[in-house]
Chains A and B, each alone.
Chain A
Amino acid sequence: MAIWLQRLALDRWRHSEGCARGEGADALPLALITETAHGPRVDAANDAGAEAGAAPGMMLADARTLCPSLKAVPGDPAGDLAFLERLTVWAQRWGPWSAMDAPDGLLVDVTAVAHLFGGEEALLEDAHARFAAQGLAARAAIAPTAGAAWALAHYAPAGTILGAGEDGAARLSTLPVAALRLDGDVLLVLRRLGLKRLGDLLGIEDEGAGRDAIQRRFRNRRSPSANPLVRMDQLLGRVPEPLLPVVAVEAPLVQRRLLEPIRHRSLLDRVLEDLAEDMVRTLEARGEGARRLELGMWRVDGEVAVRRLELAAATRDASHICRLFAARLDDVDAGFGIEMLRLLASWTEPLALAQADLDAVAEEHGTSLAACIDRLTVRLGPKAVRRPVPRASHVPERAQTWQSPLEPEKTSQDLLDLHYRPLKLLETPEQIAVLYASPDGYPRRFRWRGGVHEVVRVEGPERIAPEWWREKGSARLRDYYRIEDGEGRRYWIYRAGLAGDGRGGMPDWYLQGLFA
């Protein structure tokens, strides 16, 4: 579905002035202008202004000669774009996927969702009504390709539907060539060639050598917006346009449109429970469980709040979903009320039906591991709950990495237990002051965190060279010592470098690990 907001900039200005079309400030001739290098230029003119002769693209001085009373207001292209972006997200109420079509249009993928609104006609009516309620002039059209929908929205009567089974070329042949989304200079060339309608262009293509002729004329135009043939192919669906999804994957989607906008948390929780139950039924029918859920809340005033949730394991437990979302809904601003809620499972995994074991459930209480991890992740964040896994590296701090707890561990060669490794590793090695008999000999005594430790027993050195393939050439090797101090405390300390290795001065000592 393509939606064209014909007078987006003017509608926004009128909204900021708080007047209806043709009334109040809008009754006088007015133009929205931009400052250019050659002086102010008219971007858009209201009805009275257009009647007086102001047209988009005109210089303001020219327009003033036609209509001296023309009022000039600076336009706000950045604001329009931000508004369009918000509107595009909001337009996902009609489909799970939408794209901006700057400066004044948007595209919504309504594949297989029209039945939720009672058919494609009802969907278009709903879209027109929604935009009219917001005070935006809009024209919408539905077609199998984005290009055809765009052409119909701009150059056909509002609410045109091109069905999937219809002959697109025949239906579209009466539209002007401007419907191909081409640049101005290309349109000029086509007009000079006498190609005014899509039918003319299609007719030439059908004549055999005609296509080659057009191809030659536009052979060095790679951009689709400069090449009418590419645009025509996109329009008719002969070449893919990256806008369209390659495979139409239907994500499980449930929604509730509310008769009365809700503003209170208790009602929101109630609706969320209903949605979760609907979602569980949908998932159960497909034999799937949700891994990622998105809850969208459409507000009356054109805002949408989205809350996302990622689960550690596929689940179909409605109460679990509700409980996790409850923690995320505390900061939702309901504004003037939420009128529609939608729950989308954007990532699902197969989850077979399991038989509930009545005896076991009665005996076992508490939560499952996946539920526990979900609860922890929702409160502490996904980075906080992790599992240490080995990594192929001999540098101690790189030999361990972290991954999410329920992910299967990658197969790796098990570490050889040739050397002792500490139970705890400090996040960054802490520098210590060491007293030693000779620079490359055993440490005798060291000072760490304000305390002096006598080295009673020591084993080492275990020499660990830096990873030369990823570190700089100036990285120094490390000599690790396993030591025990006079009170029985066991540490892992290292000397970074050797005296006279040409990579800096005297080597520093660090304490990196704490042994059991």
Chain B
Amino acid sequence: MDLSALPKAAQLVLPGEPASRWRPGLGRWPDTARALHSEVFASADEAGGAACALALALDDMRGLDKERLEEKAVLWVQDDLSRRRNGVPYRPGLPRELRHRLIHVAARKVEDALFALEEGMRCRDLACVIGELAGNPRALDLTATRRLSLAAEQHGVPLFLIRHDAQRDTSSARMRWQVRSAASPPPRWNPAAPGQPSWHAALFRARAYPPGEWILRDDGTSLAAERPAEQEARSPDHGDLAATAGARSLAAL
């Protein structure tokens, strides 16, 4: 019996998706294209971009860390403007598995930040490199992004570059996302409070995958992705209403 003809587990997770579409946990299978250089475009007035990049990085790491027991450090590089506009990482708010592994680099100039990113990717003891750059600096041209891509692919250290308030300029990033915060699902005990963080992520350019839009959510053990349309169809959650409505139409309530 030819086992390779059977659908893989990942293909069974989302039955409606063709196998070639992006889905969470792609790093887990060696034959799928693992994007080592991703760019996340987001507004500097929210932390959705950084959080989504972290979630993507965690999703990428969870696939690999099972095999290796050692915990590698994570390098987080920020330039001056992004630090002022978007703040610095706050340890009590970081995901639990990253808190003790973070090394923060506060670069004053964009050139220094790019140098730090490249040095980080050359380091074999880093799990991934996260960068934050604000705007479209002159130093970050196509050549610079190409350097970053090559360094990431040569050494196998993934780079997630968050671009705050940036235009979609030319870049050699393997995956480019546009991210904004999405309304969170109401928590169970206090529906008036903000719930589990959700992000609306649009993959607008990727080398190996067609573009698409997802609502992403990190539930602590894995990254959940659903299509925005599915979410709209399912929400609002009328569970309680349906019970009280009985056989009547919901519109009658």
| Most chain B CB within a 10 A radius of its CB, from A383, A423, A513 | A423
Whether the pair A388, B91 counts as a contact (CB closer than 8 A) is yes
Q: Which positions 115-129 of chain B face chain A at CB distance < 8 Å?
A: 115-116, 119-120, 122-126
Q: How far is the CA of A484 from the CA of B47 in the complex (A)?
A: 12
Q: Which residues of A contact B126 (CB under 8 A)?
A: 369, 372
- Picked from A380, A400, A459, the residue with its CB within 8 Å of the CB of B91 is A400
Q: How far is the CA of A425 from the CA of B50 in the complex (A)?
A: 12
Q: Which residues of B contact A426 (CB under 8 A)?
A: 87
Known contacts A400-B91, A451-B45, A513-B90; decide if A388 and B104 are in contact (CB<8 Å).
Answer: yes
Q: How far is the CA of A405 from the CA of B125 in the complex (A)?
A: 13
| Most chain B CB within a 10 A radius of its CB, from A376, A386, A405 | A376
Q: Is A239 an interface residue (CB 8 A)?
A: no
Closest to A490 in B: B194
Q: Which positions 49-96 of chain B face chain A at CB distance < 8 Å?
A: 50-51, 54, 73, 83-84, 86-94
| B interface, size bucket | 35 or more
Known contacts A458-B193, A484-B194; decide if A368 and B123 are in contact (CB<8 Å).
Answer: yes
A42 to chain B, nearest CB (A): 56
Stretch of A30-38, A359-367, A500-508 contacting B (4+ beta carbons < 8 Å): A359-367
Whether the pair A367, B51 counts as a contact (CB closer than 8 A) is no
Known contacts A379-B115, A423-B94; decide if A516 and B100 are in contact (CB<8 Å).
Answer: no
Q: Which positions 456-490 of chain A face chain B at CB distance < 8 Å?
A: 456-459, 482-484, 487-490
Q: How far is the CA of A145 from the CA of B190 in the complex (A)?
A: 78
Q: Which residues of A contact B91 (CB under 8 A)?
A: 388-390, 399-400
Q: How far is the CA of A423 from the CA of B76 in the complex (A)?
A: 13
Known contacts A376-B116, A458-B193, A488-B181; decide if A386 and B123 are in contact (CB<8 Å).
Answer: no
Q: How far is the CA of A367 from the CA of B73 in the complex (A)?
A: 14
Q: Is A515 an interface residue (CB 8 A)?
A: yes
Q: Is B180 an interface residue (CB 8 A)?
A: yes
A421 to chain B, nearest CB (A): 4
Known contacts A384-B106, A385-B105, A487-B180; decide if A372 and B122 are in contact (CB<8 Å).
Answer: yes
Closest to B121 in A: A366
* CB 8 Å contact bits of B192-227 with A (1 = contact, 0 = none): 111101101000000000000000000000000000
A31 to chain B, nearest CB (A): 55
Report how many residues on chain A are interfacial, defined by Cβ distance under 8 Å. 54
Q: Is A135 an interface residue (CB 8 A)?
A: no
Q: Which residues of B contact A483 (CB under 8 A)?
A: 194
* CB 8 Å contact bits of A97-125 with B (1 = contact, 0 = none): 00000000000000000000000000000
Whether the pair A365, B124 counts as a contact (CB closer than 8 A) is yes
Q: How far is the CA of A500 from the CA of B136 in the complex (A)?
A: 47
Q: Which residues of A contact B88 (CB under 8 A)?
A: 424-425, 427
Q: Which residues of A contact B122 (CB under 8 A)?
A: 366-367, 372
Q: Is B102 an interface residue (CB 8 A)?
A: yes
Closest to B52 in A: A516
Q: Is B107 an interface residue (CB 8 A)?
A: yes
Whether the pair B124, A368 counts as a contact (CB closer than 8 A) is yes
Q: Which positions 381-420 of chain A face chain B at CB distance < 8 Å?
A: 383-390, 396, 399-400, 402, 405, 409, 415, 420
- Picked from A388, A396, A449, A457, the residue with its CB within 8 Å of the CB of B102 is A388
B164 to chain A, nearest CB (A): 11
Q: Is A375 an interface residue (CB 8 A)?
A: yes
Q: Is A422 an interface residue (CB 8 A)?
A: yes
Q: Is A373 an interface residue (CB 8 A)?
A: yes
Q: How far is the CA of A425 from the CA of B84 in the complex (A)?
A: 10
Q: How far is the CA of A389 from the CA of B190 in the complex (A)?
A: 31
A260 to chain B, nearest CB (A): 36
Q: How far is the CA of A380 from the CA of B108 in the complex (A)?
A: 8
A482 to chain B, nearest CB (A): 6
Closest to A402 in B: B104
Q: How far is the CA of A366 from the CA of B92 in the complex (A)?
A: 31
Q: How far is the CA of A12 from the CA of B125 in the complex (A)?
A: 57
Q: Is A514 an interface residue (CB 8 A)?
A: yes
Q: Which residues of B contact A514 (CB under 8 A)?
A: 46-47, 86-87
Q: Which residues of B contact A400 (CB under 8 A)?
A: 90-92
Q: Is B21 an interface residue (CB 8 A)?
A: no
Q: How far is the CA of A258 from the CA of B120 in the complex (A)?
A: 38
Q: How far is the CA of A356 from the CA of B83 in the complex (A)?
A: 41
B79 to chain A, nearest CB (A): 11
Whether the pair B46, A423 counts as a contact (CB closer than 8 A) is no
Q: Is B153 an interface residue (CB 8 A)?
A: no
Q: Which positions 330-378 of chain A face chain B at CB distance < 8 Å?
A: 364-369, 371-373, 375-376
Can you name 19 A-B residue pairings with CB atoms under 8 Å?
A365-B155, A367-B122, A369-B123, A376-B119, A386-B106, A387-B104, A390-B91, A400-B92, A421-B92, A424-B93, A426-B87, A457-B192, A459-B193, A459-B194, A488-B48, A488-B182, A488-B184, A489-B46, A490-B181
Known: A371-B123, A457-B186. 16 other contacts (CB 8 A): A364-B124, A380-B105, A386-B104, A388-B89, A399-B92, A400-B90, A424-B50, A425-B87, A451-B45, A456-B183, A458-B192, A459-B192, A489-B181, A515-B197, A516-B48, A516-B197
* Interchain residue pairs A-B with the least CB separation, the first 7: A516-B51, A514-B47, A459-B193, A369-B125, A372-B123, A424-B87, A366-B124
Chain A interface (Cβ < 8 Å from any Cβ of B): 364-369, 371-373, 375-376, 379-380, 383-390, 396, 399-400, 402, 405, 409, 415, 420-427, 448-449, 451, 456-459, 482-484, 487-490, 513-516
